[in-house]
Amino acid sequence: MPRFDIYKNPNPKASHAFYLDIQSDLVTTATRWCIPLRTVKPGQPVVSRAQVRVSVQGINCLMDTPNLLAVPNLLLRSPVERLDTPAQALADAAVEFMLRGY
């Protein structure tokens, strides 16, 4: 499972449509650290530097980094997309901001 792959959430009732895998490939566990990707809603409050907008399959999404998840590998079977390089840097910066405040 490569880092920065995006997977569809199999639960249609969940508040987030996708998972963004951010875990290093050097670490092997039964789960992967993932940022939930929520559909952007007009007027939705956003945590500056921690929640970043990205497009996934033409859907405007928000990286909900404050709600980082450990997702079982079984749910991450077929990636639907891969984050492009500029967005990968934004994801890294959002995680750093949550961990270190800068």
Supply the pLDDT for residue 44: 87
pLDDT of residue 1 exceeding 80, the answer is: no
Q: Mean pLDDT across the stretch 35-59?
A: 94
Range of the domain at 72: 5-100
Residue 46 pLDDT level (bands cut at 50, 70, 90): very high
In the chain, which ranges are E strands?
5-8, 18-21, 31-39, 53-56, 59-63, 69-72, 81-82
Read off the pLDDT of each residue in 13-21 and give the average, rounded to a whole number: 95
**pTM metric for this prediction:** 0.93
CATH of the domain at 95: 2.30.30.110
Quote the number of domains for the chain.
1
Strands 31-39 and 59-63: antiparallel
Read off the pLDDT of each residue in 87-98 and give the average, rounded to a whole number.
Answer: 96
Distance (Å) of CA 3 to CA 16, 19, 24, 36? 19, 11, 6, 14
Whether the predicted pLDDT of 11 surpasses 80: yes
User: What is the rounded distance in angstroms from the CA atom of residue 102 to the CA atom of residue 69?
Assistant: 21
